[in-house]
Amino acid sequence: MTWAIERDRSGTLIQILKHRSTPKQAITPQDLHTNLAEALRAGSFRIADALLDAGAEIVYSPGSRSNFPKEEVAIRPDEFHGHLGSLALAARSRYHLTFWYRPTKPYASEAEYWRWKKRTMMKILARMRIDISRRHMECPTISFDQYRRELDIALIEAANADAHSVEMMEFLLAAGANINAEMNDQYVGQVWRNALDEEVPSLFRAKVEFLMERGVNTNRVWSWQGPLTPAEFFLEKLHWSCLFSADTSFIDRGLWTMDFLEGRGCLEWPLAAFEAFNTCEIALQASELAGLEVGAARELELILNDTEESLQPLQTALKQHLSRKLLKKPLVTLREGQSSEIIDGHASKLDFDDKESLPEAILRLEDLREEWLAESCSEM
Give the domain ranges of the chain: 1-186
How big is the chain by its Cα radius of gyration, in Å? 24
What is the reported pLDDT for 97? 92
Asked which of 116-125, 134-143, 320-329 is least confident by mean pLDDT, the reply is 134-143
Collapsed DSSP state (helix, strand, coil) of residue 185 = coil
Residue-wise pLDDT tens digits, 265-320: 999 998 887 887 766 554 444 444 444 468 899 999 999 999 999 999 999 999 99
Is 237 within 8 Å of 254 (Cβ atoms)?
yes
Query: Is the pLDDT score of 380 beyond 60?
Result: no
What is the reported pLDDT for 129? 92
Mean local confidence (pLDDT), 16-39: 72
What is the reported pLDDT for 9? 65
Q: How confident is the model at residue 245 (pLDDT cuts 50, 70, 90)?
A: confident
Mean local confidence (pLDDT), 366-379: 88
CA distance 297 to 277: 10
Full-prediction pTM beyond 0.75?
yes
Query: Is the pLDDT score of 241 beyond 50?
Result: yes
What is the reported pLDDT for 145? 82
Mean local confidence (pLDDT), 30-43: 88
What is the reported pLDDT for 102? 80
Residue-wise pLDDT tens digits, 85-109: 999 999 999 999 988 988 788 899 9
Residue-wise pLDDT tens digits, 332-362: 444 445 444 433 333 456 788 778 889 999 9
CA distance 193 to 229: 10
CA distance 378 to 363: 23
314-321: long-range contacts, CB 8 A cutoff, minimum separation 24:
314/238, 314/239, 314/242, 314/248, 314/251, 317/251, 317/252, 317/255, 318/255, 319/278, 321/255
What is the reported pLDDT for 249? 87
Choose between 192 and 275: higher pLDDT. 192
Choose between 70 and 202: higher pLDDT. 202
Is 239 within 8 Å of 305 (Cβ atoms)?
no
Q: How confident is the model at residue 377 (pLDDT cuts 50, 70, 90)?
A: confident
Choose between 203 and 274: higher pLDDT. 203
What is the reported pLDDT for 72? 46
Residue-wise pLDDT tens digits, 70-91: 444 433 444 444 679 999 999 9
Beta bridge partners of 182: 190
What is the reported pLDDT for 284? 46
What is the reported pLDDT for 275? 80
Percent of the chain with pLDDT over 70: 75
